Amino acid sequence: MSRRYFGTDGIRGKVGVPPMTVDFVMKVGWAAGKVLAKQGKGSVVIGKDTRISGYMFESALEAGLAAAGLDVILLGPMPTPAVAYMTQARRAVAGIVISASHNPYHDDGVKFFNADGYKLSDKVEQAIEDMIDQPLTMVESELLGKATRMEDAKGRYIEYCKSSIPFNTTLRGMKIVVDCAHGATYHIAPAVFRELGAEVLELGTKPNGLNINKDVGALHPDNMRAMVLENQADMGIAFDGDGDRLMMMDSKGDVKDGDQLLYIIAKSKLMTGRLSGGVVGTLMTNLGLEHALKKEGIEFERANVGDRHVMEKLMDKGWSVGGESSGHIICLDKTSTGDGIIASLQVLDWLVEKDITLTKACNGMSLYPQIMINVPIAKKIDLQSLPAVQQSVSAAESELNGKGRVLLRASGTEPLIRVMVEGEDAVLVNKLALEIAASVTVSAST
């Protein structure tokens, strides 16, 4: 299905540049409202992360939805998964998140959840795109939507997160560095871990609208590592700007990525008889996870990159656990979307139950050396139509000789080609990745 506005995770771009302009976002709100209003009168929940443009786009969406005749419930700064939960809890017809996830403050975006807390279907997104092209018309004055602010959203979501692990699980005796990326979890995550008994050292919890994801959070672990080591903490937990992905770090400062955390969660569910089916990863999932799960007798399948594709395969298979190396982890027995806080709690619950460290919980899984190079591009390119790139890929696959993988894909959120090479030999993997990236750079510039 051809899309002009919606990408792999909603609509996203640089603030002030189409499509992320005030007038267009208002039109998106109106178009979504017109499509959703076909289900009948109802409310739409709106949450946002902490970037400065959120105030502006929140007002624009509110105006568009009201003009279409839908009421609005404003949550203020809340993690993306919290919006999915509140959409269900408030019996809203949809939820909207204003966020550009892990991107810097000058980017922003909007993404949607349906009434059940899942991402919108392709069919509904296409209907919204089609409606955007129509002239904006208001309903009659007596039918205009109203806006209210939900004052207790924070407390309700904190309790929801805590309820995802057994009531008798306590984190007493643990010292945890919690890095919130100056993003949407800044007033949520520290409270969750403190209320469960942990000693919490905060990092990235002072958002000012411009510092979201800047040198902190799941993509920038160095400051958290320094704090973990300096304070002799048991571990660090870092989220991205909108709280739907995470990474964890052991007491020595070693990062545990989404694949390793997914292994811990899957194995814990297997050993406690709570694993429903197998595990879904993506094309980027490390071979080490696939092999480790196979040793445990756990089925594994790959989906296309993107949490919505992981979700689609989970739903299709009837399984409950899936995720990405980047730290998007979905536990469908706990929540309807990827949730960094809830995923971290599933790991912590297992560490407490078995009285083991994060490092020991990863025993049984070894990551293959994997190199990812992001190659900037000025415009979209068809990789299949570039002979030099295809030749470099074929040459690399020959050198790997069946003991690794090569994957090239266009980013769904940024103007980049992602080059990934994985194999047993780290030196060879690095060499091949650089060669392929160079061929992409040359081919894309001609």
Residues with catalytic roles? 101
DSSP 405-442: EEEEEE-SSSSEEEEEEEES-HHHHHHHHHHHHHHHHH
Distance CA 344, CA 319 (A): 20
Distance CA 46, CA 399 (A): 50
Q: Are 416 and 376 a contacting pair, CB within 8 Å? A: yes
22, two tokens:
């005030």
Distance CA 358, CA 149 (A): 40
How far apart, in Å, are the Cα atoms of 53 and each of 21, 48, 127, 373? 10, 10, 26, 30
Distance CA 67, CA 62 (A): 9
Q: Is 307 buried (19+), middle (13-18) or exposed (0-12) by CB count in 10 A?
A: buried
Q: With CA atoms as reference, report the closest residue to 342 among 357, 321, 311.
A: 321
Neighbouring residues of 165: CB distance < 8 A, sequence distance ≥ 6 = 345, 346, 348, 349
Q: Is 186 buried (19+), middle (13-18) or exposed (0-12) by CB count in 10 A?
A: buried
Residue in the structure block whose two tokens are 């919505």? 308
Residue in the structure block whose two tokens are 């403050």? 105
Q: Are 263 and 293 a contacting pair, CB within 8 Å? A: yes
372, two tokens:
């990812």
Distance CA 105, CA 164 (A): 31
Residue in the structure block whose two tokens are 């993306």? 80
How far apart, in Å, are the Cα atoms of 195 and each of 156, 167, 199? 13, 12, 10
